[in-house]
Each structure stands twice: as C-alpha cells, then as structure tokens.
Amino acid sequence: MFLRCELIPRHHPGAGVPPQQSVVVACWPTRLTSRHKKIIATSDAPAAIGPYSQAIRSGNFIFCSGQIPLDPKSGEMVSDDISAQIRRVLDNISGLLKFEGLSLGDVLKTTIFLTDLGNFQIVNEIYGSYFNNQPPARSTV
C-alpha cells in the first residue's frame, strides 16, 4: 500500500480550498496489486545479487534499486577511482531507464549516499555532466 497524492487546482469543485490558496494536495491510500507492477531486468545494469529487482515499473513510475559501481558485463567492481565509480553508477541507472525507453532527463528525484563527504565536489561535477538540463530534485547523505 502506498499514499497517492495529487495537486488539485483551487477551481476544482471538490477541492474545498480557501480562496488564498491556489492548489491543495489530496492524499489517499492506494493498494497496488501484481497487475500494477512490472519487473525490469536488463543486461545494461548489474544483475540483482539478492532477493530484489533491478527496478520496478508501476504505471508511469519506475523505482530503481540502489546502485553500486558494478560493471554489468563482468559483475566486478570498477576501479577504486571515485570518478570511475560515479560514472559507472550513473551509467547503470541509465541502462535501467533505457530499457523502458527513458533517459536521465526523465528522472524526478535522486538520493546519493556518500561514505566520504570529501568526495562531494567531484560527485557534483560528474553528476552535473549527466543531469545537465533541468536536473532532478536530490538528497545527498
């Protein structure tokens, strides 16, 4: 079950929005069934190495599993170079999206987990080269 939220324009008859607000966010629980869920599996990203899927599509949304810098062809980690690791992770995500006819330009939100915040600047530079036009919302922890 997940919470479905939508923006409803003020002029919508059922919105009941005070005049000073232009939109309201309406949320309600929605149950997903297996018919709403499509497993995404591609050789353009590392195969799942546990009981999870590379990605799941539900309607117009794709939820990608977290990525580490595994080369999808060899199944091995790329070099210790942080730049190569960042590129590999972003290329893996691109492969998952490409399988569904999408690109990084379709991404709405990302979360980056860094073990060393000293790498933040290089992550930002490389990330910016992949998301150079209308970048998604992002959290970095």
Q: Please state the rounded mean pLDDT for residues 39-62.
A: 91
State pLDDT tens for residues 11-45.
Answer: 444 444 444 444 445 555 566 666 678 999 999 99
3-state DSSP call for residue 112?
strand
Question: What's the burial of 96, exposed, middle or buried (CB within 10 Å: 0-12/13-18/19+)?
Answer: buried
pTM, 2 dp: 0.75
Cα(102)–Cα(104) distance, rounded to whole angstroms? 7
Domains in the chain (CATH in brackets) are 1-31 (no CATH), 34-140 (3.30.1330.40)
- Residue 68: closest CA among 122, 18, 114: 114
Question: What residues contact residue 26 under an 8 Å CB cut-off, 6+ apart?
Answer: 5, 6, 8, 15
pLDDT at site 35: 67
- Residue 64: closest CA among 43, 35, 94, 36: 94
State pLDDT tens for residues 85-123.
Answer: 999 999 999 999 999 999 999 999 999 988 899 999 999
Cα(57)–Cα(92) distance, rounded to whole angstroms? 16
